[in-house]
Amino acid sequence: MKIEIYHEEPIEYWCGPDCGDCCVNYVPTFPAEIEDISRRIREPITRFAGLFDSICEHKFLLYNRTGTIGSGTHCVFYDSGCEIHEFKPITCASYPIFINVKLTEDGLFAEVSGESDQPCKTNGERHVMTDETLLEMIKIGARHNAVMAKITSYQFRDSNRYANECYELFLSLELEEAVRILMESGIDEFDL
């Protein structure tokens, strides 16, 4: 499958170690990611996230440190650094990069832009988002969106079961099948 990536060179951002300035906003998270986090930290989903369909279209939102949804307070997983950095959600991994993916007859076309108006307050290190990393994010994002097109939270009363079903499908879903599901669902683009 052909995947084209367009961006102005380079896609870069500055981030300081253990800064956390970006970790205070809503964090929409794919259901399969929530289940993965739950398994890795061995904690129930209700400890760290809630399902809010009206806000984020069948996604979960990570709680803040007060145990509620909202901005202005650090993420529940931030305490002098990200506690789930190795498996953090794609929303966190891609920030402050914006990725718009369109489905075409040949495959996927992604337009990538940096949020240069997000200055780092810590005089952080320069990071460059490579095409290899972008490619992986696009593939993962396509699979996640296909899962949510096939399984919606409205099919389940139990948000834990919803996250588990999404997780199981995500693990088994190849990119080509994900694109087919998206096209059949009438989804011709998505953002990361």
Q: What is the pLDDT along the chain (192 residues), one digit of tens a residue?
A: 899 999 887 777 777 667 777 888 778 899 999 999 999 999 999 999 999 887 778 899 998 887 777 667 888 998 888 899 899 999 888 887 889 999 998 899 999 987 644 555 555 677 778 889 899 999 999 999 999 999 988 888 889 999 999 999 999 999 999 999 999 999 999 998
Q: Which pLDDT does position 56 carry in this prediction?
A: 74
**Phi/psi zone of residue 80: left (φ > 0), alpha (ψ -120 to 50 degrees), beta?**
left
Q: Which pLDDT does position 2 carry in this prediction?
A: 92
Q: What is the pTM of this model?
A: 0.88
Q: Which pLDDT does position 93 carry in this prediction?
A: 86
Q: Which pLDDT does position 41 carry in this prediction?
A: 96
Strand partners, 98: 113
Cα–Cα distance list, 191 to 70, 98, 99, 159, 169 (Å): 21, 7, 6, 23, 21
